[in-house]
Amino acid sequence: MYGKFGELLGRELDIIREQGLFKEERILEGPQGAEITVGGATVVNFCANNYLGLASDPRVVAAAKRTLDEWAFGLSSVRFICGTTVLHKELEAAVADFLGTEDAILYAACFDANGGVFEPLLDQDSAIITDKLNHASIIDGIRLCKARRFIYEHADMADLRRCLAESQDAQFRMVATDGVFSMDGDLAKLSEICDLAEEYDAMVLVDDSHATGFVGATGRGTPERFGVSDRVDVITTTLGKALGGALGGCTAGPRELITWLRQKSRPYLFSNSLPPLVCGATLEVLRILREDPEPLKALARNQLRLRSGLRDLGFDVDEGDHPIIPVHFRRHDNDALLAQKISADLLAEGIYCIGFSFPVVQRGQARIRLQASAGHTDEHVDRCLAAFATVGRRHGAIT
Ligand SMILES: *Cc1c(COP(=O)(O)O)cnc(C)c1O
C-alpha cells in the first residue's frame, strides 16, 4: 500500500526542492555555543536562541551532571502517577517566583504549554483574540479549543479593538500574544494591549519565549519591560531558549488556573515528566539569573555593538534593543537573492547566520536575521561586523 503514497511524497518533496523551500539541516559536530563546528570548520554562531550563553555554561553543565548522578536519567511516568519529584516542585516554585506569579506548571516544551492552555480554560461560549503573527504553537493550541477565534493584524491596536468590540457577547475572552515576535524581534505593545483588555474585560496571555531571562531590567520578560506584570494573567514560556536551551516549557499564572491545568491539560496529563537533570540545570540557571548580572549585561552590550555597528556600515537595520537583529534589503529589488548570497558568503568568512525570504517573510522583506548572545566576545562581534562590511560591499548592499 505504501508504494503509491511514497511516490506522491517523493513528487511533493521534489516540488519543495524546486521552489527552493527545502530546509536543509546543518549538522553541528560539537556542542552549542558562541563558536560551533560545522562541516569541519569553526564558525561564530549568530543564529541560536542561546541569548544568555547558558547552553554550555560550565555552572549549568555541572548542575546537570550532579543531578544526573543523584536522580538518575528518566522518570518513565507522567506527573500525576509517579513522575513528580521534589525537583519538579522546586522548579515550578522557582519559575513562579521568577515570573512573579502564584504558581507555574511544567511541560515537555512550550509548544505543549500552548497546546494545553486554551482548551481547558475556554469553551464555545468564550473567545480568543490573537495577533496574526503569533507563533505556530499558539495557533495550534487555539485550534484545539472550541472558543471562537478573532485574529487582529500584527501589532494593530485599532484592529485589536475591533476584535474586542465584535466579541462582546462571549462569556470570557482572552487576548493571546507573543511577547516578542521572532522574525523582527519586535515587542508586543503590552501596555496598550493591557489597557484595551481592561476596557473590554478580557484576560491577557503572553508567550514570552523570546524574552524570559533577558528582556526587562532583571530579565523577567516583556511584562517587566512594560511595567504590566500585575495586568498579564497568564505567561507561557520555554526553557529551550535563554534558560539553558535544553527543553521544557511552562505556564505561569494564578493558583486556581494552574491547578485547573494540572487536572485538565492534556499535554501535561498524557506526556512524560521532564528529566530530573533538566530540572536541576534550570534551577541553576534561575540561581545564576538572580545572583549574576553579567550575562544580562554582556547580552545588552553585544546587541548594542552589533546593531549600531551594522547601521554605521550603512545596513538597513531597524531601531530596537532586542538581541534579534534583522538586516533588511528593502532598498534593493533583488532582496531575496542578496540575502541568500550574503549569508552564504558570510559563512565562508566564518559567520553563521540565516537569510529569510519569501514565503517565510513577505515578498520584498527578505532579511538576514542575527541573534546576539551573552556568549559572544567583543572579538566575535568585531569579526561579524568586518565580514558584513566585506561581503556587503562585494554584493553592493552597502557602498
Ligand atoms: C520557540 C517558541 C516556542 C516553542 O518552544 P519549545 O519549548 O521549543 O516548544 C513557543 N512559542 C514561541 C513564541 C517560541 O518562540
Q: Which domain holds residue 349?
A: 18-54+293-394
Please state, rounded to an integer, the average pLDDT across all residues of the chain.
97
Q: Is residue 170 part of a domain?
A: yes
Ligand 1 pocket test target in 107, 182, 209 with most atoms within 8 Å of CB: 209
Distance 209 CA to ligand 1 centre (A): 6
pLDDT digits (tens, 9 = 90+) for 309-330: 999 999 999 999 999 999 999 9
Same-domain check for residues 333 and 390: yes
> Which domain-ending residue is among 216, 246, 274?
274
Q: Is residue 355 part of a domain?
A: yes
Look at residue 206 in the predicted model and tell me its pLDDT. 98
Is the beta carbon of 109 within 6 A of some atom in ligand 1?
A: yes
Q: 352 forms bridges with which residues in the sheet?
A: 45
Q: Is residue 349 part of a domain?
A: yes
Same-domain check for residues 374 and 256: no
Same-domain check for residues 162 and 214: yes
Same-domain check for residues 103 and 230: yes
Q: 270 forms bridges with which residues in the sheet?
A: none
- Cell 531597524 belongs to 318
Rounded to 5°, angle at Cα 215 from 325 and 192: 95
Q: How far is CA 298 from the centre of its chain?
A: 20
Tell me, what CATH number does 322's domain have? 3.90.1150.10
Is the beta carbon of 135 within 6 A of some atom in ligand 1?
A: yes
Q: Is residue 166 part of a domain?
A: yes
Same-domain check for residues 211 and 314: no
Tell me, what CATH number does 141's domain have? 3.40.640.10
Same-domain check for residues 29 and 81: no
pLDDT digits (tens, 9 = 90+) for 336-367: 889 999 999 999 999 999 998 888 888 889 99
Is the beta carbon of 210 within 6 A of some atom in ligand 1?
A: yes
Distance 333 CA to ligand 1 centre (A): 33
| Residues 255/136, Cβ–Cβ less than 8 Å | no
Pairing of strands 234-238, 203-207: parallel
Q: Spell out the residues 6+ positions from residue 348 whose beta carbon is closer than 8 angstroms to its own.
A: none
Query: If DSSP states are collapsed to H, E and C, what string results for the chain?
Result: CHHHHHHHHHHHHHHHHHCCCCCCCCCECCCCCCEEEECCEEEEECCCCCCCCHHHCHHHHHHHHHHHHHHCCCCCCCHHHHHCCHHHHHHHHHHHHHHCCCEEEEECEHHHHHHCCHHHHCCCCCEEEEECCCCHHHHHHHHCCCCEEEEECCCCHHHHHHHHHHCCCCCCEEEEEECEECCCCEECCHHHHHHHHHHCCCEEEEECCCCCCCCCCCCCCHHHHHCCCCCCCEEEEECCCCCCCCCEEEEEECHHHHHHHHHHCHHHHCCCCCCHHHHHHHHHHHHHHHHCCHHHHHHHHHHHHHHHHHHHHCCEECCCCCCEEEEECCCCCCHHHHHHHHHHHHHHCCEECEEECCCCCCCCCCEEEEECCCCCCHHHHHHHHHHHHHHHHHCCCCC
Q: Is residue 49 part of a domain?
A: yes
Instruction: Name the burial class of residue 284, with classes exposed (0-12), middle (13-18) and buried (19+) by CB atoms within 10 angstroms of its CB.
Output: buried
Is the beta carbon of 79 within 6 A of some atom in ligand 1?
A: no
Is the beta carbon of 224 within 6 A of some atom in ligand 1?
A: no
| Residues 360/387, Cβ–Cβ less than 8 Å | no
Same-domain check for residues 215 and 337: no
pLDDT digits (tens), the chain, 399 positions: 899 999 999 999 999 999 878 888 999 999 999 999 999 999 999 999 999 999 999 999 999 999 999 999 999 999 999 999 999 999 999 999 999 999 999 999 999 999 999 999 999 999 999 999 999 999 999 999 999 999 999 999 999 999 999 999 999 999 999 999 999 999 999 999 999 999 999 999 999 999 999 999 999 999 999 999 999 999 999 999 999 999 999 999 999 999 999 999 999 999 999 999 999 999 999 999 999 999 999 999 999 999 999 999 999 999 999 999 999 999 888 888 899 999 999 999 999 999 988 888 888 899 999 999 999 999 999 999 999 999 999 999 999
Q: Whose CA is nearest to atom 5 of ligand 1?
A: 110
Distance 111 CA to ligand 1 centre (A): 6
Q: Is residue 13 part of a domain?
A: no
Same-domain check for residues 140 and 112: yes
Same-domain check for residues 125 and 269: yes
Known catalytic residues are: 182, 210, 241
Same-domain check for residues 161 and 232: yes
**What's the total number of domains in the chain?**
2
Q: Is residue 183 part of a domain?
A: yes
Q: Is residue 5 part of a domain?
A: no
Same-domain check for residues 101 and 136: yes
Same-domain check for residues 250 and 370: no
- Cα 389 to Cα 342: distance, rounded to the nearest angstrom: 11
